[in-house]
Amino acid sequence: MVTVFDRHWWVLALRGVAALTLGAGLFLWPGMTLAALAPLFAIYAVADGVLALIAAVWAARWHVSWWPLLAEGGLDIAAGGVVLLWPGMPLFTLIAFIAVWAVLTGASSIVTAVLLRRAMAGEWFLLLSGVGSVLLGALLLAFPGAGVLAVVWLIGAYALASGILLLGFAVRLRGWQHRTAPGAAGPWPLAPRA
C-alpha cells in the first residue's frame, strides 16, 4: 500500500488543497458561505471522492487494500451528489448530513491509516485527519442547534486542519519516493513495522 501512496503522493496533495480551499472559503466569506455552504461542500466532496477513487484503482492494481479508499470515495461522491441534487435542503438537514458524512469518511481514513501502519511510519497524518473528521461529525450531531456561523467556522477549521495534515502526508510520501529512486537500498524508505 505504501508504494501506491508514495508513487501517487500528488493525489493526497490535491485532496489537501481541496480541503484547504474549502476551509479558507468558509473563513474568508462566512456571510456569503451561509448561502453557499451546500454547493461548496458538494464540490469539495465530489472532488475528494474522485481523488479517493483514483487512489483505490491504483491500490487495486498493486494488489493492496483498496476497499477503504473505495468506500471513502463512494461516500464522498454520494454525499456531494445528494447535496447538489437537493439545492433547497434545509440547513438543519444539511448539517446533519455533513455530520454523518464526516463520521463515515473519517472512519474510512482511520482504517486506511491502520492498514498503512503495518507497512510504514508516518501514517499518523492520515489517522489524525480521520479522527478530526469523526470529531467534527460528533460535534455537529451533539450540537445541531449551534449558531450557523459557529457551524461554518467549525467545518472551516476542520477543513483547514485536514488539508494541512493531508499535505504533510503528501510531502512526506514525496520525500520517501525520492529516497527509493533507482539505486536506493530496499523497496521501503523505512523499515516495516513489526
The string of pLDDT tens digits covering residues 150-171 is: 888 888 898 999 899 888 888 8
What are the 10-residue block averages of pLDDT along the chain, 194 residues in total? 59 87 85 74 89 84 80 93 87 87 92 77 79 92 78 87 88 67 41 38
| pLDDT of amino acid 79 | 93
Establish if 33 belongs to a structural domain: yes
DSSP characters over the chain:
-HHHHHHTHHHHHHHHHHHHHHHHHHHH-HHHHHHHHHHHHHHHHHHHHHHHHHHHHHHHHTTS--HHHHHHHHHHHHHHHHHHH-TT--HHHHHHHHHHHHHHHHHHHHHHHHHHHTT-S-THHHHHHHHHHHHHHHHHHH-TTS-HHHHHHHHHHHHHHHHHHHHHHHHHHHHHHHHTSTTSSSS-SSPPP-
| pLDDT of amino acid 81 | 94
Establish if 187 belongs to a structural domain: no
| pLDDT of amino acid 38 | 85
| pLDDT of amino acid 183 | 46
Establish if 36 belongs to a structural domain: yes
Establish if 91 belongs to a structural domain: yes
Establish if 190 belongs to a structural domain: no
Expressed as residue numbers, the domain containing 57 is 2-179
The CA-based angle 37-39-41, given to 5 degrees, is: 65
| pLDDT of amino acid 177 | 56
Establish if 81 belongs to a structural domain: yes
C-alpha cell at 82: 445528494
| pLDDT of amino acid 131 | 94
Establish if 185 belongs to a structural domain: no
| pLDDT of amino acid 189 | 34
| pLDDT of amino acid 113 | 84
Establish if 188 belongs to a structural domain: no
Tally of domains in the chain: 1
| pLDDT of amino acid 32 | 64
